[in-house]
Structure 1
Amino acid sequence: MDEAIKLADKICIIQKGWIVQYDTPENILKNPANEYVQNFVGKNRLWSNPEFIKASDIMLKNPCKISVDRTIIQALQVMNHARVDSVLVTEDNKFLGIVWLADLQNFDSYSGSLKNFISDDYHAVYENTSLKEITNTVDYNHFGIVPVLDLKNELVGYLTKSRLLSVLSRQYQDSVRQKDGILA
């Protein structure tokens, strides 16, 4: 199976003489057609092929964001309500950058525009970025948030170090349980 996943453009899974799934290796790993296919390829085989795990598979989908035409006080209210120290700034859903709480706290006029506070010191990834690239980006990024963009540079989600650690540790725990026979 490992060879087929690495080499094939398409894989055909047959059960009792019937084709149950004919698809790309990535789709078979991510979306097995039924329990037979899932058991045939192995429940955790996707994690053995991290090039198939993309940002869109593990990102958080509801980023704390605000439109660029909002005021500083509105950005502070959004951050306070969401209990975060930054907000992602968009214009017509196009990602522009990040505004940090620390940059706004000592400002005198809270009715002013956010435009002067948008930081371009960030590392974004695209939704099709592989897990390997994501771990490098998150490790390199000294900030706690990594925006996830689509090919039109529209904001579709975000990743944090804690989210990545949570996903990886949950997968590790599941694989240990399965190895020990706790999971079927």
Structure 2
Amino acid sequence: MKNLANEYVQNFVGKNRLWSNPEFIKASDIMLKNPCKISVDRTIIQALQVMNHAHVDSVLVTEDNKFLGIVWLADLQNFDSYSGSLKNFISDDYHAVYENTSLKEITNTVDYNHFGIVPVLNLKHELVGYLTKSRLLSVLSRQYQDSVGQKDGILA
């Protein structure tokens, strides 16, 4: 249903049929890849540089690609030294999902007013991607863009 073979099958099954079954859409289908991440053995100044370069207010912390938590820019305001370790600033205040978590479960459980970024993990607890509120809104709006485009005779 995600990759229909040709136009005949698409017309027969229905192009937006998948949207009526959000349990078939998984986090791995909609996640953003290449998250802004940093190794746990880096320093505060390195984390600040990574965040500044990526224009973000948080960085995902890993050790051997295993996800450990998030370092928030706001939490880095009270530090003793720029060369200090990130270990004391790793927050466990986050909501992560697995790559096989359904879109339905994501929209029902993730509070994007509290969590600006949602790490996506594989079953080995390795970081494989991330979701944001804007990404989720973009994905969800596609179903309406496609149906509007079809009604107007425009291919979206």
Bin for the TM-score computed over the shorter chain: over 0.9
Mark the runs of 5 or more structure 1 residues left unpaired by the alignment.
1-28
CA offset digits 1:80-131 (Å, max 9, x no partner):
0000000000000000000000111232311011111000011100001001
- Report the more deviating stretch, 150-159 or 166-175: 166-175
Kindly state the Cα deviation for residue 77 of structure 1 after the two structures are TM-superposed. 0.3
Query: Kindly, what percent of the aligned residue pairs are identical?
Result: 96
Of 56, 60, 72, 1:84 maps to: 56
Distance across 2 between alignment mates of 1:147 and 1:32: 29
Mark the runs of 5 or more structure 2 residues left unpaired by the alignment.
none
Alpha-carbon contact 2:59-2:72 (below 8 Å) kept: yes
Report how many residues are paired.
156
**Structure showing greater Rg:** 1
Report the TM-score, using the length of structure 2 for normalisation: 0.93
Kindly state the Cα deviation for residue 175 of structure 1 after the two structures are TM-superposed. 1.4
CA RMSD of aligned residues (A): 1.5
Of 128, 131, 154, 2:100 maps to: 128
Q: SS where residue 111 of structure 2 aligns?
A: helix
Aligned to 2:72: 100
Distance across 1 between alignment mates of 2:44 and 2:112: 29
Alpha-carbon contact 1:122-1:141 (below 8 Å) kept: no
Q: SS where residue 70 of structure 1 aligns?
A: coil
Q: Which runs of 4+ in 1 moved over 6 A?
A: none
**2:42 is the counterpart of 1:70:** yes
